[in-house]
Structures are given as structure tokens and as C-alpha cells.
Structure 1
Amino acid sequence: MATPTPGLESLSLWIGTIGMTLGTLYFIAQGWSVRDPEQQEYYIITIFIPAIAAASYFSMAIGFGLIEVPVQGLGTLEIYWARYADWLFTTPLLLLDLALLAGADRNTIATLIGLDVFMIVTGLVGALAREGQTVRIAWWAISTGAMIVMLYYLLGTLSEQASKMSGDRAALFSRLRNLVLVLWSFYPIVWILGTESGFAIIPLPVETAAFAVLDLAAKVGFGIVLLRSRSVFSGTGASTAQSAD
């Protein structure tokens, strides 16, 4: 168990913890009186996303989710393994929300989640690799390749299935899909420019802050956009979005 460096790094982790916790409580409050079974399904999935992330950020903030990895030619690197544990659970849930909104079949859902898990696991292997910078970058390339295939599948097959839904539902899917495409594309960029790749163009405190901002937008922001238009995916088939407030 290591202790995070005081300053921006620690502040970012605590902001992440508080932000994810507030997001969780907000989603619980908004969904407390929901009785429509389909709406409840989205709320349950979406509540767990920031809840898991809040636990992950808390573990990193207190130093439990941080380890030191000796890497050949690079010295000892500080790696937040809890970040990958967070992504391993939350990103499939995000994709499940999108897949349900698009009315995707089980094969499509399995493909998306399989690619996502492969992406996270290979990214974790790269972060923990001790053989040197070249090996770490090779694992990053494999993980990024899986992400590109997954996003292409999201843009193609899943979007095609979503186009068969009602106009408002398809439009909501498109907004959320674009949010995922943009935000998720920044993750491998921050990784390769940060300390985990060995380049350290971005120092660890800035890297940590960047991941926190991306996580909050990709989890809490995603949930707010989705759940504020809950009538779009209600069992009533309503085509006009209404505020959950």
C-alpha cells in the first residue's frame, strides 16, 4: 500500500470520490419512485456505474489502490491498479446501457462486452509489465486495437440496430454513443503520454487529474444524459423525452 503524492494528484482522487458518490446518490434519488420495469433496469445499471467508481477512487485516494512496479530501464512506476478494476466493471455496464437502448440482440451485447473486457485486461497487463517500455507499449497497442474495433462495432452494428427504434430513442442513443466515442478515445492518449507508458510527457498528477475528469464525464455525465430522458426508453413506448426532475 502506497501513499498518493499530496497536491493535484490527491485532490483529483478525492474529487473523483466525491463526484462519483454524489452521482450515485443523485441517481438513487431520481429513481427511487420509478415503477416502470424497463426504466428500473436502466436505473439499476446506471446507479452501479458511479457506485463502483466511487469505491475505486476512494481506494486510490487512501493509497490502497496504488502499487509500485519496478520496470526494466524505467525504474519504479506508480500504478493505480484500482482504476483498471473500476473500468473492468463499469465500462461493460455503460455498454449494456447503450445496447439495451439500441434494442441489441445477445450476440451483439456479448461481442461488445467481450471486446471491452479484452481491452481493459490487456491494458492492465501493460500497466503491470516489468520487461521494459517496449513491452508496455506493445500491450497498449493491443488494448488500443481492441478499443478501435469495439468503437467501430459500436458505430456500425449497434448504431444500425438503434436506427430501427423510435425517433427520440434513436436520437438519445446517438447522443450517448457520440459521448462514449469522444471520451473513450482520450483514454489511450492520456495513457501513452503519461507515466505508465514510460514517456511521462504528462506527469502523474496531471495524468491522474485527466483520468478523473474523463471518468466523471463518462460515468456521471453519461448517466445524467440517459436518465433525464427516461420516458424515451419507458415500457409505454413514449417518443417524447421528459425530465426526470
Structure 2
Amino acid sequence: MGNSALDLNPPNATFHLSTHGSDWLWAAFSVFGVSLLTVVAWTFTRPRGARLFHQIAIVVLTTGSLAYFSMASDLGATPVPVEFRGEGTRQIWFVRYIQWFITFPLLLLELLLATGLSLSDIFTTLFMSIVLVITGLVAALVPSTYKWGYYTFGVSALFYIWYVLLWHGPHTTFAAGGVLRRGYLLAAGYLSFLLLLYPIAWACAEGGNVISVTSEMIWYGILDIFAGPIFLFFFLWELRGVDYATFGLHSGKYTDKSAYAPNTTHAAGTVPATTSTGAAGNV
């Protein structure tokens, strides 16, 4: 499958993806695809009103599957002149940054919704994750040494994310109690460690042209699998016994039949009574 992909979509740069790299990307695509189907099936085993975290995982895994399908097909890259270690151009995979632009904030949202952080704190943290991804993309597309200025801005945003994940978040009150706090601490530490490896990979790949494009794909692919399917399965498993009502996630809509009190007739212009779980049923 890798051979036909490279034949149909020839590489467009001096430093480009190899056949073995394409084969690895097809394998990574398979991991994301199988994980997606598994989470979709898992979601239907959950009651309505207790699917939010699983649905976030579905979005993350769907985006990752599409991105890896594109990269395995040798699509979604543009040539950019290299700064170090040779002359010519290197494939810069903008489709990967589109993937991260969608998935990175959602992974953080998955974690931070379990904490007692305010909405403004969560919003700022998600914004910093977008800054990290966008500065990485701009830096990768800049052929001159100015790319390292954008790289510095991105790393600065990452320090803020680490602060929230490892310090601010753990010091809030967890509505679901100590069990969820323990799961959060493990997941936050795990994700923070992976986030340390992404800037290192960028400096060796898009930034310094030290490693080949195929090695880049292997490195990023391993990180994405650990930060995507493996992280999500672990975190969802930790949430399996948590009462979603403790999160206070309410849609504010009353379209579900369960939102109405049973055997109650309502006069025109009156507001129907709700059960304790009715508002959350559409989350």
C-alpha cells in the first residue's frame, strides 16, 4: 500500500518521506482507526448524559485517523528550504499541524474538565495550546533563522500549560473526589512528559533537519499514539465509575423526555418540571 501511495503521489521535496515511512504511517493509521471504532462502540454502552468525555475522544481519534491517512498517502506536505545540514527542501507536513490544532486543545479539555478550574482558566490554557501549535507551524514554514523566534514563543506557551496541568489544576477542588484526583495526576504527569518530547522532535526534524523525514514520522507517530489512543483509553477507564452529575455539566435544554416530570400535565405558558439529571441528559 505504501508503494502505490508514493507512486501515485510523488514526494515534492529533496528531503522526503520514504516507502518504509509510508508503511509505518499506514500502521499508525490502523491504530487510530481501530481505536476510533472501539471508542465509538464503548460510547454506546454509556447512558445518555455520561458520554461527553467519550465523544471528545471520538473527535480526537477521527481527526488523527484522517491526518495519518493523508500522511501515509504522501499528501498534506509542502516543500520548505532547509536551514541546516544540506541544501534543498524538506517536506513540512501542514496536515499534522491541522491535526494538532484540533486535538491538542481537546486533550487538554478532556483533562481540565475533571478539575475545579474556572472556565476562564480552562479557556486560557486551551488558547495557549493553540499558540503552541500555530507557532510550530509558522516556524516550520519559515526558511530563515527567524523560525527559532516562533519556536521560543511556542515553548513559552508550553510552560504555561505545564503550570496549569501540574500545579494550578491539582490544587483545585475535584468535585468527583480523591479517586478522580489520582487519575488526573497520573494522566497530567503522563501528558506533560509527552509534551516535553514534541519540541525536541521539532528541533531535530523541521527545525534543525538533523533526522530524516521518515525518522520524523516514526518519532511523531509514536508520540501521537501515546498522546492519543493510549492516553484516552487510560483516562476514560479512570472515569468509568465516576458519577457524571458531580461535574455539573448541563446543556440547559429540555428536549429529552427524561427532562419532564412523569405523569404531569402542563398548562400553557408554564415551565415543565425537571428531574435532577434532565438538564445533563443532552451533554
TM-score range, shorter chain: 0.7 to 0.9
Structure 1 residue 72: deviation in Å? 6.3
Distance in 1 (alpha carbons) for counterparts of 2:133 and 2:173:
25
Give a deviation string over 1:100-155, Cα, whole Å, max 9, x none.
1113221111011010001111110001113x1x2122221221121122112221
The answer to whether the 8 A contact 2:92-2:140 is kept is yes
Structure 1 residue 2: deviation in Å? 5.1
TM-score by length of 2: 0.77
State the match for 1:30 in structure 2. Answer: 42
Match 2:139 to one of 116, 126, 148: 126
More helix, by proportion: 1
State the match for 2:271 in structure 1. Answer: none
State the match for 1:170 in structure 2. Answer: 181
Structure 1 residue 208: deviation in Å? 0.9
Bigger mean CA offset, 64-73 vs 93-102: 64-73
Structure 1 residue ranges (4+ consecutive) displaced by more than 6 angstroms after TM superposition = none
Query: What are the within-5 Å matches in structure 2 for residues 214-233 of structure 1?
Result: 214-233=223-242
The answer to whether the 8 A contact 2:114-2:174 is kept is no
State whether structure 2 residue 126 is matched by structure 1 residue 113: yes
- Counterpart residue identity of residue 125, structure 2: L
The answer to whether the 8 A contact 2:125-2:160 is kept is no
The answer to whether the 8 A contact 1:2-1:66 is kept is no
- Counterpart residue identity of residue 197, structure 2: F
Q: How many residues align?
A: 232
Distance in 2 (alpha carbons) for counterparts of 1:94 and 1:139:
23
When the two chains are superposed, the root-mean-square deviation of aligned CA atoms in Å is: 1.9
Bigger mean CA offset, 161-170 vs 175-184: 161-170
* Structure 1 unaligned spans of 5+: 238-245
The answer to whether the 8 A contact 2:25-2:221 is kept is yes
State the match for 2:106 in structure 1. Answer: 93
Structure 1 residue 203: deviation in Å? 1.9
TM-score by length of 1: 0.88
Structure 1 residue 5: deviation in Å? 3.0
Query: What are the within-5 Å matches in structure 2 for residues 124-163 of structure 1?
Result: 124-130=137-143, 132=144, 134-161=145-172
Match 2:203 to one of 187, 192, 213: 192
Match 1:40 to one of 33, 51, 54: 51
